[in-house]
Amino acid sequence: MAKNNITTVTEFILIGFNDHPKWEIPLFLVFLSFYLVTMLGNLGMVILIHVDVQLHIPMYFFLSHLSVLDACYTSVITPQILATLATGKTVVSYGRCAAQFFFFTICAATECFLLSVMAYDRYVAISNPLLYTVAMGPRKCWSLVVGAYVCGMCGAILRTTCTFSLSFCENNQINFFFCDLPPLLKLACSDTTNIEIIIVFFGNFVISANALVILISYLLIIKAVMRMKSSGRRAKTFSTCVSHLTAVALLFGTLIFMYIRSGSKKSLEEDKVVSVFYTVVIPMLNPLVYSLRNKDVKAAFKKVTGKWQVSHSIQY
C-alpha cells in the first residue's frame, strides 16, 4: 500500500532563484546581456569565417563548429533562466526537463571532443606547416567533426537514460536554475548508487580521454617548437595555441570542479555559481578569446566591416 500511495513526478519546480527574489530584475538584465553578447559573438564568428576566404582553413573550420556549439548549449539553458526570472514561472514538465538535460549534455560532451580535435589540428599545423592543408583535407576535417558529434550524442544518450531511469516521487523541487545532474540525483527517491557509478565513469572517461589527447598533442607541439632555431619564431608559433589552451582550461576546469570532485566536498551553492559560469559565461568568452588574440580574425573583421561601410556609403 505504501508503494501504491507514492506519487510519480510529472513536472519539476525550479527554485534556484527563490533565495534572492530582490535580485530577479538585475539578474534578468545580466543574463540577457550575457546571452545577447554570446549569440552575437558566436554567430558573428561563424558568419565571418564563412564569408572571408582567408579563414577557409581547418583551424577556423573547427572554430566555427565550436562557436555553433557554444551558441546551441547556452540557448538550451539561458532562455529557461530568463523566462523564470521574467515571469516567475518555475514549472518544467518532466519531458522538457529530460530534453533540456539531453541537449545540454550533447553540446557539452561534443565540445570536449572538439577541443581535443582542435589540439590535434594545432599539432599537425605546427609540425608540418607546408603540408597542413593537405594533411587536414576537407574529408578528414568533416570526419573528425562528425566523430565528435557522434561521441557527444552517444554520451548524452547514456547519461540521460541513466539519470531519467531513476524514480522521482512527491518531492519535485529542484534547487537549481535548470535540469542538471547534481540536483536531480539528490531529488531521486530510488537508489542512485549504480547510476552514479556509471555516470561518474562516463564523465571521467570523457574528460580524461580528451585531456590525454590534448596533453599528448601539446607535448608533441612543444617538441616541434623546440626544434625551431629562432626564438622569435618559437614564440610566434606557440602564441597560436594560447587561445585554444585558454578555452580548454576554462571548460575542463569547471567540468572537473562540477562533476568529478568527491561528493563530500560538494556544495549546492558552489554548484550554482559554477553552472552559471560554464553555461553562460564560457560560451560568451570563447569568441572573445579567439578574436582578441587572433590577428587573422581581427583582419577579417576589419575587412568585412570596411566593405560594409563602403557599400553603405555608396547606397546613401
What CATH number has the domain bearing residue 295? Answer: 1.20.1070.10
Among 14-28, 63-77, 197-211, 260-274, top mean pLDDT goes to: 63-77
316 part of a folded domain: no
pLDDT of residue 62: 94
> Cα(249)–Cα(200) distance, rounded to whole angstroms?
20
* Mean pLDDT of all residues in 64-88: 90
**What is the tens place of the pLDDT at every residue in 77-101?**
999 889 888 887 788 888 999 999 9
Residue 37 counted as domain residue: yes
Where in the sequence is the domain holding 257, given as residue range(s)? 11-308
Q: What is the structure's pLDDT at 239?
A: 79
Q: Is residue 67 part of a domain?
A: yes
CA distance 29 to 285: 18
Give pLDDT, residue 2: 41
Flag whether pLDDT at 310 surpasses 60.
no
Contact assessment for residue 69 and residue 287, using Cβ atoms and an 8 Å cutoff? no
pLDDT for position 91: 87
Point out the least confidently predicted range of 65-69, 108-112, 235-239, 250-254: 235-239
pLDDT tens readout for residues 172-217: 888 888 888 888 888 888 888 888 888 888 888 888 899 999 999 9
Give me 49's grid cell. Answer: 569565417
| Contact (Cβ atoms closer than 8 angstroms) between residue 76 and residue 100 | yes
Bridge partner residues of 93 (DSSP): 11
Any domain includes 5: no
What is the pLDDT, as a whole number, of residue 5? 46
Could you give the percent of the chain with pLDDT greater than 70? 87
Q: Where are the beta strands (DSSP E) in 114-185?
A: 173-174
- Look at residue 247 and tell me if it is in a domain: yes
Interval 153-177 mean pLDDT: 88
Residue 278's pLDDT band (cuts 50, 70, 90): confident
Residue 1 has pLDDT above 50, yes or no: no
For position 265, what pLDDT does the model report? 54
Higher pLDDT, 119 or 85: 119
Confidence of residue 3 (pLDDT cuts 50, 70, 90): very low
Mean pLDDT for all residues in the chain: 84
Report the predicted TM-score, pTM, of the whole model to 2 decimal places: 0.87
| 101 and 164 Cβ atoms separated by less than 8 Å | yes
Q: Tell me, yes or no, whether 1 lies in a domain.
A: no
- Write down the pLDDT at residue 16: 77
Measured distance CA(163)–CA(200) in Å, rounded? 12
pLDDT at 4: 47
pLDDT of residue 295 exceeding 50, the answer is yes
The pLDDT, as a whole number, for residue 147 is: 96
pLDDT at position 61 is 94
Tell me how far apart the terminal alpha carbons of the chain are, to the nearest angstrom: 79
Give the mean model confidence (pLDDT) for residues 286-313: 67
Note the pLDDT of residue 267: 67
Q: Is the per-residue pLDDT at 18 higher than 50?
A: yes
Tell me, yes or no, whether 280 lies in a domain: yes
Tally of structural domains, the chain: 1
